[in-house]
Chains A and B, each alone.
Chain A
């Protein structure tokens, strides 16, 4: 018996919209079964996990805060992935953005200096530096691909470890808080170098509306501009794109720069938003989680917005489940994997018709 995947000529809209919903339902079903086998009530788990976080003001804020970096990174990744270019190193670009932007906050951490020149420019410059840092770091694998044909999947991934260790080294050395008893972390940023908070509770920072803006802008560029058309064409019909005169190398560099810049922006927003200092680790793996988010959102910025919120919900719900139901923490992680798998299955099923061929292979 052989399983054949035949591309569907037309994709009905109902299937296109229904597939992710079905995928989510399937994942919840599997998760519920596991919870049941662990001897807990699936209904209660569903309530604690998916419903309660949506009912309280503080957890809604937390949802937005958690989704913020995921949205920014994933929107950037969608540009790469749409063009069939595989930037796996958003985690590194995130770190570089946070590092470069954070460096400015540390360098200007001096009252006398701030009084002399004024401090209003620090935060905007930090954001720009963050984007620039991420973009430059993403251009490394892009250039290696364009010049040498090196696989961007490997180089971008490997550069994550370089960035992680670079940050680690810097906060133990040059960027260390001189009054911090030698512990590996920088000074706490001045308020002027922090993103302003938008609500009581000091959690909902200005990065959140920025992420929303990024998603809307990303959606517009992808759908309504020539450049967006070029990106989509390069991914879906590379030969046609070349015949149309689109420059492959330039496109590679551009989408990597966009994706890196957004990851870097996410990094500096995280550092200047909720962390408020540089520490040896500034990301609990957002750059990798964003890959899930990008696919979960079917590589469309608006879909990504929804997907990031769903994934943020699995984190917050997962913690609530640990507190309220003493459910294991590995459950949240396993559940994220199940979710991605269901989406990919659903996606394949929308794009292809699955045909079973019986008898010997030709």
Chain B
């Protein structure tokens, strides 16, 4: 009992201290934790673009800080450091921060946490991710149209559901315009390692791929395509300046509207823990300008983009047949459910690769 009383006193002391610093600082401090360097010009870069947009939109009310290159297995301390230094809203932007975020959140009930791409929530931990696979469907269609060798190379990172769903959506898009297309996959086993990514792209080009698609974060595979005089797509960010002759478009993650909306919610006291899975309709997934392709392909891509945005087209509309030729159960009636997509661990028919398990 005595210990409890002590704990209560401690907690209220901390709470009062926290409240008084918040009052003194008045600006809401928002922290971001990135897994890569801001200079990856891909995934972490886009999150930072979201941060900058937030700073620009609400600069008089917020102050933003970020920590980059934070290893996932040693992230408790950096996250706690943000919480301790008065940040009241903290975005942890990589899957591996899931347990650390939950642990730190338990210690700081007054701080709101937002964890990207995870699935565990708490009273003060929300989760969010985007339907990147919608963009994959569009680039799959473009690739299906543009390939001459009918062989597309795909540099993949790790076989987690997000990446597998991306491969499947890409393949479904490609098949929708070119039934005989083949996709070759190399697992780079990294999110960001320009050397390894470039090697993977080289191997794919040597195997006859004339288009390189990638689900790793650097511009290296795209640059390899450019060097070989082939085509490719940017990842997470518009990477046109790295490959002006090769990039046909890029899937652009746009976190700005989400970051602004959630920060406003904290400012208004309306913040609640929830899961967000937004796509093109929520402005979380954009396409970079369509370049290096004939007008008819461009028109098709634009129409597909518009149809997905207007929710007229679902990349995972049924029927869908898996690698073994079995029809996949349609839990939503007409298409796969979000849950089926976010836990995907099977390939659609036609993919010439065994899913690493």
**A interface vs B, CB < 8 Å?**
58, 62, 65-66, 165, 168-169, 172-173, 181-184, 188, 201-203, 270, 274-277, 279-285, 316, 319-320, 322-324, 326, 329-330
Q: Mark B50-69, 1 if CB is under 8 A from A, else 0.
A: 00000000000000011111
CB distance from A274 to the nearest CB of B (A): 6
Instruction: Please name the residue on chain A nearest to B75 by beta carbon.
Output: A284
Instruction: Please name the residue on chain B nearest to A201 by beta carbon.
Output: B107
CB distance from B282 to the nearest CB of A (A): 22
Let me know if A323 and B65 touch, CB within 8 A: yes
Let me know if B67 and A329 touch, CB within 8 A: yes
A62 to B75, CA, bound (A): 12
Let me know if A281 and B72 touch, CB within 8 A: yes
- The answer to the question of B283 belonging to the interface, with a C-beta cut-off of 8 Å to chain A, is no
- The answer to the question of B356 belonging to the interface, with a C-beta cut-off of 8 Å to chain A, is yes
Q: A172-B357, A173-B357, A201-B107 are in contact. Are A319 and B67 (CB under 8 A)?
A: yes
A324 to B76, CA, bound (A): 18
Instruction: Please name the residue on chain A nearest to B29 by beta carbon.
Output: A323
Interface-located stretch among B95-103, B231-239, B300-308, B329-337: B95-103
9 residue pairs, one from A and one from B, having the closest CB atoms: A284-B71, A181-B343, A182-B345, A284-B74, A329-B69, A329-B68, A62-B77, A319-B78, A173-B357
Let me know if B119 and A181 touch, CB within 8 A: yes
User: Which residues from chain B contact A281 at a C-beta distance below 8 Å?
Assistant: 71-73, 96
A330 to B39, CA, bound (A): 11
A183 to B344, CA, bound (A): 10
A168 to B71, CA, bound (A): 16
CB distance from A66 to the nearest CB of B (A): 7
Let me know if B37 and A329 touch, CB within 8 A: yes
> What is the total of A-B residue contacts with beta carbons within 8 Å?
82
Q: Mark B255-275, 1 if CB is under 8 A from A, else 0.
A: 000000000000000000000
Let me know if B343 and A182 touch, CB within 8 A: yes
Q: Assuming A165-B189, A182-B344, what are 8 further A-B pairs, CB within 8 angstroms?
A: A172-B158, A172-B356, A182-B160, A184-B158, A279-B73, A280-B158, A281-B71, A281-B73
CB distance from B240 to the nearest CB of A (A): 26
Q: Mark B82-115, 1 if CB is under 8 A from A, else 0.
A: 1011000000000110010001000100000000
- The answer to the question of B161 belonging to the interface, with a C-beta cut-off of 8 Å to chain A, is yes
Let me know if B159 and A172 touch, CB within 8 A: yes
CB distance from A324 to the nearest CB of B (A): 7
Instruction: Please name the residue on chain B nearest to A276 by beta carbon.
Output: B99
Which residue of the partner chain, among B66, B84, B159, B344, contacts A58 with CB atoms under 8 Å? B84
A169 to B99, CA, bound (A): 20
A62 to B78, CA, bound (A): 10
A182 to B339, CA, bound (A): 12
Q: Pick from A65, A276, A329 the residue with the most CB of B within 10 Å.
A: A329
Q: A173-B357, A329-B37 are in contact. Are A184 and B71 (CB under 8 A)?
A: no
Q: Mark B153-174, 1 if CB is under 8 A from A, else 0.
A: 0000011110000000000000
A202 to B103, CA, bound (A): 9
In the complex, 15 of the A-B residue pairs with CB atoms within 8 angstroms, ordered by the A residue number, are A181-B161, A183-B161, A201-B107, A203-B77, A279-B72, A279-B96, A280-B158, A281-B71, A281-B72, A316-B77, A319-B78, A322-B67, A322-B68, A323-B82, A330-B37
A330 to B37, CA, bound (A): 9
- The answer to the question of B149 belonging to the interface, with a C-beta cut-off of 8 Å to chain A, is no
Let me know if A203 and B81 touch, CB within 8 A: no
- The answer to the question of B342 belonging to the interface, with a C-beta cut-off of 8 Å to chain A, is yes
User: Which residues from chain B contact A330 at a C-beta distance below 8 Å?
Assistant: 37, 69
Let me know if A319 and B74 touch, CB within 8 A: no
A330 to B68, CA, bound (A): 9
User: Which residues from chain A contact B96 at a C-beta distance below 8 Å?
Assistant: 279, 281
A203 to B84, CA, bound (A): 15
A320 to B342, CA, bound (A): 35
